[in-house]
Amino acid sequence: MNDNNLLDIKEVARYLHIAKSTLYRWVNQKKIKYIKVGSRVLFSQDDLNEFINNNTVNAE
């Protein structure tokens, strides 16, 4: 992970255990928050944690 807590597509795909193509699709569908810097797509650790919390299904 980078010092400034911004992760790139490859790092986030590995972190979430998903394919990079799935992550790109989520970005295009605006299902996950991201930061656009020039042509780079980056993700903050805080936004990823929020995404994980919002998509956690609790057992009954």
* pLDDT score of 2 more than 80: no
Q: How far is CA 42 from the centre of its chain?
A: 8
Residue 1 lies in a domain: no
Residue 59 lies in a domain: no
The pTM score is 0.85
25: domain range?
Answer: 6-54
* pLDDT score of 36 more than 90: yes
pLDDT in tens, 3-33: 568 999 999 999 999 999 999 999 999 999 9
Classify residue 43 by burial, with Cβ atoms within 10 Å: 0-12, 13-18, 19+.
buried
3-state secondary structure (DSSP) of residue 41: strand
Tally the domains of the chain: 1
CB neighbours of 11 closer than 8 A, spacing ≥ 6?
Answer: 1, 2
